[in-house]
C-alpha cells in the first residue's frame, strides 16, 4: 500500500477492522463514469448481501473550472474541442447508463459547476452521520438525469432537503474554510498516490480498483479485498 493510500485509511475515523467490507469511493459529482460506477457498486453490494460500510472521498476532475462554474458548451469546447468530438463518448455513456437504469440527459445540461463545495457538502453529511452514498446519488441524478445546476445554492437546497440537510447546512458547507481544507487535503492524498482518473475504490485497506468496473469484477474484488492476499494492484487503468 502506498503512503497516500495509507493516509486515506488513517483519515477515515469510522473504519474498524472487522468482517465487514469497507469501501472508500473516490469520485467526482460531475463525472458520468462515477455515476455508472456507483450503480455497479450498489449492485455488487446488494448481490453479496454482507455487512458493508461506504465512504466518499473527494476528487475534482476539473479543478480549473471557475468558482461560479461554466456553461456546458464552453466546458465541452475547452476540454474536448467541442460537442462533435465527444459525441461518440456520450453515445457510449448513454448505452452503458441504460444497463444500470441511468437515463443520461446530456441534452438538458447547461451548466457545469466547480465541485469543491459539493465535496464539502458530502464531508459535512459524513460529519452529521448522514448517508453519503444516498446524497451522492441524489446529486449525480439531479445533474445527469435532470440537467439541474447543482452548483446553484437554491437548486442544491431543494435537492438535499430529503437527505437531512437544511439551507443552513448548505451555506455552512459552502462557506467553511475548515471543510475546504479537508476536501483539498483528501484529494491531494488520492492524487499523490497516483490516481489520475475516477472512479476509484479502495477496499479494506488492501485493494484499489480503478474505473467503472462491471458488477462481477466488483464482486470478485470484494472477495480479494476481504479474503485474498493484500495487494495495491490496479484492476484496470483509469478510464479518463
Q: Tell me: the pLDDT tens digits for 21-32?
A: 999 999 999 999
What domains can be seen in the chain, in order of their start residue?
Answer: 3-59+68-227 (3.40.30.10)
Mean pLDDT in residue range 164-176: 97
Q: Which residues contact 46 (CB under 8 A, 6 or more apart)?
A: none
> What is residue 14's predicted lDDT score, i.e. its pLDDT?
43
More reliable by pLDDT, 50 or 186: 186
User: Of 61, 202, 29, 210, whose CA–CA distance to 125 is shortest?
Assistant: 29
Which residue in this structure is represented by grid cell 475548515? Answer: 178
Residue 229 has pLDDT above 70, yes or no: no
Mean pLDDT in residue range 13-25: 69
Reported as a single tens digit per residue, the pLDDT across 142-169 is 999 999 999 999 999 999 999 999 999 9
DSSP string, the chain: --HHHHHHHHH-TT---SSSEEEEEEE-TT-HHHHHHHHHHHHHHHHH---EEEEEEE--S-TTS-TT-EEHHHHHHHHHSSHHHHHHHHHHHHHHHHHTT----GGG--EE---HHHHHHHHHHHHTT--HHHHHHHHHHHHHTT---TTSHHHHHHHHGGGT--HHHHHHHHH-HHHHHHHHHHHHHHHHTT--SS-EEEETTTEEEESS--HHHHHHHHHHHHHS-----BSS----
> What is residue 82's predicted lDDT score, i.e. its pLDDT?
74
Q: pTM for this one?
A: 0.87
Query: Are residues 110 and 147 in contact, defined by beta-carbon separation less than 8 angstroms?
Result: yes
pLDDT band for position 56 (cuts 50, 70, 90): very high
Residue 15 has pLDDT above 50, yes or no: no
Mean pLDDT in residue range 178-207: 93
Mean pLDDT in residue range 71-81: 89
Residue 65 has pLDDT above 50, yes or no: yes
Strand partners, 134: none
> What is residue 26's predicted lDDT score, i.e. its pLDDT?
98
Amino acid at each position: 500500500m502506498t503512503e497516500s493510500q495509507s493516509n486515506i485509511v488513517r483519515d477515515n475515523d469510522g473504519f474498524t477492522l472487522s468482517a465487514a467490507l469497507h469501501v472508500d469511493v473516490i469520485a467526482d459529482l460531475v463525472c458520468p463514469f462515477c455515476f455508472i460506477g456507483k450503480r455497479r457498486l450498489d449492485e455488487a453490494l446488494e448481490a453479496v448481501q454482507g455487512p458493508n460500510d461506504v465512504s466518499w472521498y473527494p476528487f475534482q476532475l476539473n479543478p480549473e473550472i471557475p468558482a461560479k462554474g461554466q456553461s456546458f458548451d464552453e466546458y465541452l469546447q475547452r476540454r474536448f474541442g467541442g460537442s462533435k468530438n465527444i459525441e461518440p463518448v456520450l453515445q457510449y455513456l448513454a448505452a452503458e447508463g441504460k444497463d444500470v437504469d441511468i437515463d443520461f440527459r446530456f441534452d438538458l445540461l447547461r451548466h457545469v459547476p466547480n465541485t469543491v463545495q459539493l465535496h464539502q457538502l458530502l464531508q459535512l453529511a459524513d460529519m452529521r452521520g448522514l448517508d453519503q452514498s444516498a446524497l451522492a446519488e441524489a446529486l449525480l441524478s439531479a445533474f445527469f438525469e435532470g440537467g439541474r445546476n447543482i452548483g446553484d445554492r437554491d437548486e442544491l437546497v431543494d435537492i438535499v432537503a430529503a437527505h437531512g440537510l437544511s439551507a443552513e447546512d448548505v451555506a455552512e458547507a459552502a462557506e467553511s474554510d475548515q471543510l475546504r481544507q479537508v476536501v483539498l487535503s483528501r484529494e491531494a492524498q488520492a492524487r499523490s498516490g497516483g490516481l489520475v482518473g475516477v472512479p476509484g475504490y479502495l477496499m479494506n485497506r488492501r485493494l484499489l480498483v480503478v474505473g467503472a468496473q462491471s458488477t462481477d469484477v466488483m464482486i470478485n474484488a470484494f472477495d480479494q479485498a476481504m479474503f485474498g492476499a493484500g495487494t495495491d494492484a490496479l484492476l484496470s487503468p483509469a478510464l479518463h
